[in-house]
Each structure stands twice: as structure tokens, then as C-alpha cells.
Amino acid sequence: MRSTTAYTQFATWAAVDCLARHAALRVREVGEAHRKSAGNERG
């Protein structure tokens, strides 16, 4: 029973970590795309 709980906690942590990394990557991509489009509009 205890090993199942540990596995569930690890799986939850891994999923949250993966989602956090993905979200951070998306934010960076959107930020860069926004900068490029804003720069194109000015130029």
C-alpha cells in the first residue's frame, strides 16, 4: 500500500512538472512571437 502511495505522489509530481515546463515553454514562444510581430509593425 505504501509503495502505491509513493508511486502516485511521484506520478503526480512528474505530471505537474511536465505541465509546468510545457506552460513555461508556451509563454516564451508566445512572448517571442509577440515581440517579432510588434517589431514588424514598427518597421
Instruction: Please tell me the total count of domains within the chain.
Output: 1
Distance CA 27, CA 21 (A): 10
What digits encode the pLDDT tens for the residues 1-43? 678 999 999 999 999 999 999 999 999 999 999 888 887 776 5
Q: What angle do CA 11, 14, 20 make, to 5 degrees?
A: 140
Instruction: Compute CA 35 distance to the chain's CA centroid, rounded to the nearest angstrom.
Output: 20
Q: Which domain holds residue 43?
A: 1-43
pTM for the whole structure: 0.59
